[in-house]
Structure formats: structure tokens, C-alpha cells
Amino acid sequence: MTLERARHILIQHSQNDEQGFRASLRPFRGLRRDYCAQIEEAFLVVAPELQHPIVDQQLICALWDILWTARNWALLPGSMLRRNHLISPEEVAFLQQWVGKMDNAICITLQGAPIGTELEEFDNS
């Protein structure tokens, strides 16, 4: 996957594109784990770009928005998906782990950790 393709995928998933993560949460059509996998794959491609002194603001915004949306629309106890009993406990558990993993990966990447260890370190803990 090219850097430009990875960047496009992350931006697409952060917007209300019909084929994106954010749009799959409203209206909720079930948790799309394949979207989470696409986001992880694209993140690993763009990760080296996040270690430069100046980073792409649109890329950071896309990553931030994906995780913010997951928390505020699906994970918080009063979020619309939980409040309306639209998301299952299993989906909540998966999404909580995935958001935590991505938070960790983005944070340690920005701190300069070796590329390629971001997601594996969380999986092994």
C-alpha cells in the first residue's frame, strides 16, 4: 500500500463516506471489524510520517476523529449506540480493546518508537 493510498483510507474512514468506519456507526449497521483492520494496515504505512518533526495535520485529525467517534458514539455509557441498545456487549469489548490499541500505537509512534512494534506490543500485553 502506498503512503497516499493509506492516507486516503484513513481520511475516508474518518468522514461520513458510505464505505467508512465513521459512517458505519451512524446509522449503526453492526461493527465492521474489517474497517478496523483496514485502519490498522493504513496506520502502519503512515506511521513513519508521524515521526517527522512536522506532521500532516489532516492525517492526525483523521486518526483522532476515528477514535473520538468510536468513544463518543459507541463506548461511553451514555453514547447513542449504548443508550439505544444498538451495540452488543461483545462489540463494545472488541471496540474498547481496539481503541486502546490504536491510542497506544499512535502515542508511541509519535514518541519515536521503532516502526512495526506499535500494534504488536499492545496485542502481547
For 5-26, what is the mean pLDDT?
A: 93
Boundaries of every domain in the chain:
3-123
For 64-93, what is the mean pLDDT?
A: 97
**CA proximity to 63, closest of 19, 102, 16:** 102
- Is the whole-model pTM more than 0.75? yes
pLDDT at 13: 97
Contact 63, 11 (CB under 8 A): no
The neighbour count for residue 112, using CB atoms within 10 Å, is 9
For 26-30, what is the mean pLDDT?
A: 91
What mean pLDDT value characterizes the chain? 91
pLDDT at 29: 85
